[in-house]
Amino acid sequence: MTTLRQLHYLVALSEELHFRRAAERVNVTQPTLSAQIQELEKRLRAPLVERGASRVTLTPLGREIAERARRVLSDVQDIADLAASSQHGFDGTIRLGVPPTLGPYLLPHIVPDLHGKYPDLRLYVREGKPVELQGQLQSGGFDLVISPMPIAHGDLEVERLFREPLRVVAAPDHPLASKQRILSSDLAGQSILAIERGHHLHEQVSQLCEDFNATLLRDYEGTSLDTLRLMAGMGVGLAFLPALYVRSEIDGRNEIAILDINMPNLFRQMGLAWRKRSVHAALFKEIADLIRTTAERKLPDITVTR
C-alpha cells in the first residue's frame, strides 16, 4: 500500500525537481528515493515522474498527487502536534525555517528571550530559500517559518513582524562612495550585484534595477551575503544588503563603504507563518509578539509592524 514516506519523497521531488537534492533533503540516498518513487508509481499504476537526462518533471497526475500529498502530510503533522500538545503543553521542539539572509543576524537576539520565556521549549532551526521553506511548512516539515513577504499560501496564517531596510554598499574607491548622500537617480547605469535566484532578495533587487535603470550582473550572482560583500568590496559592483547583516558584518570595518541613500521605501517586510490548523497557534502568536518586542528593544535598524 501507499505509505506516508513515499508521499513525503514525492513532495520533496516535486519541489526540488532533482533526485539528488530531493534525497539530501529527506536524508536518504538517491537510489532509495528513486526506488520508493518507482514503488509508488507501481502501486498507483500510473506514471508520476518524467525522468529526463538533465532534469525531472512531474506528470500532470504527479503534480496533482503531490499537491494532495502536501495536505495529507500537513494533517498528519497536525495530529502529532495535537497529541503532543495534550501531553506537554508548550514543551517539546518547534521546527523553525528561516532564510540564510536573515537567520544568523536575527536569531542571536531573539533566542535568549525565547528561552527565558519558554525554558522547556526546544528550537530546531534550518535554513533555506523562502519558497522551499513555505512549501515545507505546508507539508509539515516545519512548524514555523520566518520569511520575506508576501507569503501567498492561503492555508497559512501570517503575522507581520518588521520592516528591514536595505543598505547600498560599494568599494571605498567607488565614485559614489565619496558623495555625502546619493539619490536614486545616481544608481542609473550602475552595475548591481544580487544573491542567486530562489531568494526573495534576488527578485527584489532585480526589480530595483528596473526601477532605477541600473544593470543587474546576472553572471556574478552571489551564493551568500558574504560573497556579495566581498565582490562589492573588490569593485565588481554595488550591492543591496539587509540592515541586520550590515550591522553584524560591516559596521566598523573599512574595507567597504555604506552609502547614505535618500530612499525611505528601500526595505523588505518580514513575517512569521504557520499552518492555520496548527494546535500551537496561540503559542506562535506569542512568539511573534516576543520577536517584535525584542526587536524594538535591541535592533534600532528595523521598524516593527503589527
Render 244-261 in DSSP notation, one character per residue: HHHHHHTTT-SSSEEE-B
Q: Delimit the CATH 1.10.10.10 region(s) of the chain.
A: 4-70
The hierarchical CATH code for the domain 73-162+268-304 is: 3.40.190.10
Report how far residue 232's alpha carbon sits from residue 241's, in angstroms, rounded to the nearest whole number: 10
Three-class SS of 109-157? HHHHHHHHHCCCEEEEEEECCHHHHHHHHHCCCCCEEEEECCCCCCCEE
Q: Delimit the CATH 3.40.190.10 region(s) of the chain.
A: 73-162+268-304, 165-267
Tell whether domain 4-70 is in CATH 1.10.10.10. yes
The hierarchical CATH code for the domain 165-267 is: 3.40.190.10
User: What letter would DSSP give residue 158?
Assistant: E
Whole-structure pTM value: 0.74
150 upstream amide cis, omega within 30 of 0: yes
Instruction: Enumerate residues 6+ apart whose C-beta is below 8 A from 59.
Output: 46, 47, 48, 49, 50
Tens of each residue's pLDDT in the chain, 306 residues:
789 999 989 988 888 888 988 898 888 999 999 999 999 999 998 899 988 766 788 899 988 898 888 888 877 877 776 666 555 455 578 899 999 999 999 999 999 999 999 888 889 999 999 988 988 898 888 999 999 998 877 789 999 999 999 999 999 999 999 998 999 899 999 999 999 988 999 999 999 999 999 999 998 899 999 999 999 999 999 999 999 999 999 988 888 999 998 888 899 999 999 998 888 888 999 999 999 999 999 999 999 998
Report how far residue 84's alpha carbon sits from residue 206's, in angstroms, rounded to the nearest whole number: 44
Report how far residue 246's alpha carbon sits from residue 171's, in angstroms, rounded to the nearest whole number: 14
